[in-house]
């Protein structure tokens, strides 16, 4: 029997044939897919959100569940043929509840941005007041920015951080009492301090507001007890699954002790309202293959190996922050309490220049903009650096210092020529690139395996 007429009976048959077919029948696409694997192995990501999904998560996402249309929740579907979709969604829900000690978990949101909109639309009316962290202080677009749905559909009020990069809780309280928002949003994208969820809840209670915590950036630290959990402090918690949880692109909606209360102004319990907000509120059928991948990632997140990885995230972040400060770089707040290091750049090197020059040498970082910085977010005045990939690569303390040393040596050789343009001698750039590549080969991305 020719290979391409063999029946496909198992997931393994599918994946094997899929890879073979891509290679023989769509070489153009196959070569791009291979090139991306190579790129990820040969470049060093210091992007604070980055974590590589492991092979089992990738394999789960490439499953026949992609073909299943299931509107509704397990056991209450609008379609037939949902038996395995029900099982996989129930498994993902159970794992999310267990991992985060949540009473409620919704696993259908296509992304964390969607999850945030779903929560907001379920709890607030258009035009209601929302209080969230300002984008240029480290908040997320969906928390209050005028550029996003939140800012456009609600009256968005914004709080920020002090010069030490700590949330100004007194300002949050003052704004909450003055504006009486329907919802307060906490959680950040570029923030290096521990979030005080209890304090946020106290403010929300005092102001008669609901509290939404978005832990997209710190979900792994929360899940392993290295950051306080908002599950019972917030009315609702959201997270994406593709940052610290090393899962597929997607979102989770979680709730703790408030899951079964009837919030004033709502028709039913939070649990019911949240389910309806996703479907039929804002989404149609979920991506069941992605729910399978979420289940895989959540299962892995309960393993001792993931716990050890999150331990390395914390120790590596401290190690790198210390190494940058030892090289006279300004680290906002003088260190980090999570995975993120906020670096202030000087000497005319903008975030944009640092990002481009480092990328040319194989190091991927994200530029950031300090509070009050007037230049565009495409320019930036600093870098937001994270420890996720370093921890996944098992880069030890000596390796961490080598990484920081490389970043500092590269930036030390860069001559800025404006906001985006710079010069870096090609021979030096090539030398740095080879050094980065050697480091990456010495520390391959192998977190799913023992070393
Ligand atoms: C990354 C991030 C998101 C967005 O996640 P998507 O799934 O890409 O929409 C939401 N909130 C915070 C705080 C984030 O850092």
For residues 274-286, give the mean pLDDT: 94
Q: Please give the pLDDT value at position 447.
A: 67
- Backbone φ, ψ for residue 343 (5° rounding): -100, 130
Which numbered atom of ligand 1 lies nearest the CA of 113? Answer: 9
Nearest CA to ligand 1 atom 5: 112
Evaluate if residue 165 carries a pLDDT over 80: yes
Atom 2 of ligand 1, nearest CA residue: 216
Kindly give the number of the ligand 1 atom that is closest to the alpha carbon of 188: 13
Phi and psi, residue 347, nearest 5°? 70, 30
C-beta of residue 70 within 8 angstroms of C-beta of residue 54: no
pLDDT band per the 50, 70, 90 thresholds, residue 391: very high
Task: Dig out the tokens for 418 from the structure.
Answer: 């404006």
Torsion of CA 323, 329, 332, 335, to 10 degrees: 10
* Best CA proximity match to 251, nearest among 232, 237, 233, 231: 237
Q: Which carries the bigger pLDDT value, residue 159 or residue 373?
A: 159
Over range 389-401, report the average pLDDT. 93
- CA of 187 from ligand 1 middle (Å) equals 10
State the pLDDT at residue 1. 44
pLDDT value of residue 290? 98
pLDDT at 4: 66
Closest-CA residue, ligand 1 atom 3, reads 112
- Separation CA 244–CA 333 (nearest Å): 22
Residue 241 has φ and ψ, to the nearest 5°, of -105, 0
What pLDDT is attached to residue 152?
Answer: 84
Model confidence pLDDT, tens digit, residues 53-90: 999 999 999 999 999 999 999 988 888 889 999 999 99
Residues 24, 21: Cα–Cα separation, whole Å = 5
Please answer whether residues 340 and 317 qualify as being in contact, where contact means their C-beta atoms are separated by less than 8 angstroms. Answer: yes
Question: Nearest 5°: CA angle at 214, between 212 and 220?
Answer: 140
Residue 319 has pLDDT above 90, yes or no: yes
**375 or 419: whose pLDDT is higher?**
419
Query: In the structure encoding, which two tokens stand for residue 129, read together?
Result: 């007041």
Ligand 1 closest atom vs CA 251: 7
The percent of residues in the chain predicted with pLDDT above 90, rounded, is 85
Q: How far is the CA of 72 from the centre of ligand 1 (A)?
A: 24
Residue nearest to atom 1 of ligand 1 (CA): 216
186 C-alpha to ligand 1 centroid (Å):
13
| Eight-class DSSP state of 167 | B
Ligand 1 pocket, Cβ-based, cut-off 6 angstroms: 49, 111-113, 140, 142, 187-189, 214, 216-217, 240, 251
CA of 241 to the centre of ligand 1 (A): 9
pLDDT digits (tens, 9 = 90+) for 3-49: 567 888 999 999 999 999 999 999 999 999 999 999 999 999 999 98
The string of pLDDT tens digits covering residues 112-147 is: 999 999 999 999 999 999 999 998 899 998 998 888
User: φ and ψ at 405, to 5 degrees?
Assistant: -60, -40
Over residues 188-204, the mean pLDDT reads 97
pTM flag (> 0.75): yes
Locate 243 and state its tokens: 């940052």
245-254: average pLDDT: 97
pLDDT at 438 over 60: yes
Ligand 1 closest atom vs CA 243: 1
Place of tokens 């004033």: 264
- Cα 125 to its chain centre, rounded Å, is 27
User: Is 105 within 8 Å of 250 (Cβ atoms)?
Assistant: no
Mutation choice for ligand 1 from 108, 112, 137, 251, CB with most ligand atoms inside 8 A: 112
Mean per-residue pLDDT, 338-357: 94
> Of 244, 240, 242, 250, which is closest to residue 283 (Cα–Cα)?
250
* ∠ CA 232-238-243, rounded to 5°: 120
Which amino acid residue places its CA nearest to atom 15 of ligand 1? 189
Q: How confident is the model at residue 305 (pLDDT cuts 50, 70, 90)?
A: very high
Nearest to 254 by CA among 288, 290, 284, 298: 298
pLDDT at 450 over 60: no
The torsion angles phi and psi of 294, rounded to 5 degrees, stand at -65, -40
Q: Is the pLDDT of residue 451 over 60?
A: no
Cα–ligand 1 centroid distance for 98 (angstroms): 22
Taking residue 335's Cβ as centre, other Cβ atoms within 10 Å add up to 16
Atom of ligand 1 nearest to the CA of 189: 15
Angle at the Cα of 227 from the Cα atoms of 262 and 244, rounded to 5 degrees: 95
| Beta strand pairing call for 382-386 and 340-344 | antiparallel
Question: Maximum CA pair distance of the chain?
Answer: 75
Alpha carbons 159 and 134: distance in angstroms, whole number: 6
What is the Å distance from ligand 1's center to 82 Cα? Answer: 30
Q: Ligand 1 pocket test: which of 107, 189, 213 has the largest number of ligand atoms within 8 Å of its C-beta?
A: 189
Pocket test for ligand 1, best of 118, 135, 140 (most atoms within 8 A of CB): 140
SS3 per-residue string spanning 70-109: CCEECCEECCCCCHHHHHHHHHHHHHHHHHHCCCEEECCC
Radius of gyration of the chain (CA): 23
> What percent of the chain lies above the pLDDT cut of 70?
98
Under the phi-then-psi rule, with left for phi > 0, alpha for psi from -120 to 50, and beta for the rest, what region is 116?
A: alpha
Average pLDDT for the chain: 93
Q: Could you tell me the pLDDT band of residue 252, with boundaries at 50, 70 and 90? A: very high
Give the range among 39-53, 246-260, 312-326 with minimum mean pLDDT.
39-53
Please tell me the distance from the alpha carbon of residue 99 to that of residue 307, in angstroms, as a whole number.
12
Q: What is residue 367's predicted lDDT score, i.e. its pLDDT?
A: 92
Instruction: Report how far ligand 1's centroid is from the alpha carbon of 189 (Å).
Output: 7
Please count the residues of the chain: 451
CA–CA gap between residue 188 and residue 195 (Å, rounded): 9
């Amino acid at each position: 029997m020719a290979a391409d007429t063999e029946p496909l009976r198992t997931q393994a048959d599918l994946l094997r044939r899929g890879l073979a077919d891509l290679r023989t029948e769509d070489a153009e696409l196959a070569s791009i897919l291979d090139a991306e694997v190579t790129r990820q192995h040969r470049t060093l990501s210091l992007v604070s959100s980055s974590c590589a999904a492991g092979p089992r998560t990738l394999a789960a996402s490439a499953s026949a569940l992609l073909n299943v249309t299931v509107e509704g929740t397990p056991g209450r579907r609008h379609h037939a043929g949902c038996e395995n979709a029900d099982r996989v969604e129930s498994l993902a829900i159970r794992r999310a509840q267990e991992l985060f000690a949540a009473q409620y978990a919704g696993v259908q949101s296509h992304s964390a941005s969607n999850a945030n909109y779903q929560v907001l639309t379920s709890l607030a009316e258009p035009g209601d007041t929302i209080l969230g962290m300002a984008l240029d202080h480290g908040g997320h677009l969906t928390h209050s920015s005028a550029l996003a749905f939140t800012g456009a559909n609600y009256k968005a009020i914004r709080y920020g951080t002090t010069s030490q990069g700590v949330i100004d809780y007194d300002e949050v309280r003052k704004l909450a009492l003055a504006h009486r928002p329907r919802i307060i949003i906490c959680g950040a994208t570029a923030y290096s301090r521990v979030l005080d969820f209890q304090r946020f809840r106290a403010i929300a209670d005092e102001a008669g507001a609901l509290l939404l915590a978005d832990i997209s950036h710190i979900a792994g630290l929360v899940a392993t007890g290295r950051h306080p959990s908002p599950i019972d402090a917030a009315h609702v918690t959201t997270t994406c699954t593709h940052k610290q949880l090393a899962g597929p692109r997607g979102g989770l909606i979680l709730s703790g002790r408030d899951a079964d209360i009837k919030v004033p102004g709502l028709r039913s319990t939070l649990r019911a309202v949240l389910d309806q907000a996703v479907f039929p509120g804002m989404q149609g059928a979920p991506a069941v293959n992605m729910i399978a991948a979420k289940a895989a990632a959540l299962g892995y997140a309960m393993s001792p190996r993931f716990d050890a990885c999150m331990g390395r995230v914390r120790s590596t972040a401290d190690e790198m922050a210390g190494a940058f400060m030892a090289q006279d770089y300004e680290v906002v707040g003088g260190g980090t309490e999570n995975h993120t290091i906020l670096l202030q750049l000087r000497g005319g090197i903008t975030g944009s220049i640092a990002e481009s020059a480092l990328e040319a040498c194989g190091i991927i970082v994200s530029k950031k903009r300090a509070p009050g910085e007037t230049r565009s977010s495409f320019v930036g005045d600093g870098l937001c650096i994270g420890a996720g990939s370093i921890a996944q690569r098992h880069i030890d303390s000596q390796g961490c210092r080598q990484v920081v040393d490389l970043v500092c040596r590269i930036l030390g050789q860069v001559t800025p020529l404006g906001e985006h343009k710079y010069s870096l001698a090609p021979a030096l750039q090539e030398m740095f690139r080879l050094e980065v590549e050697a480091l990456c080969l010495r520390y391959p991305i192998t977190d799913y395996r023992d070393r």
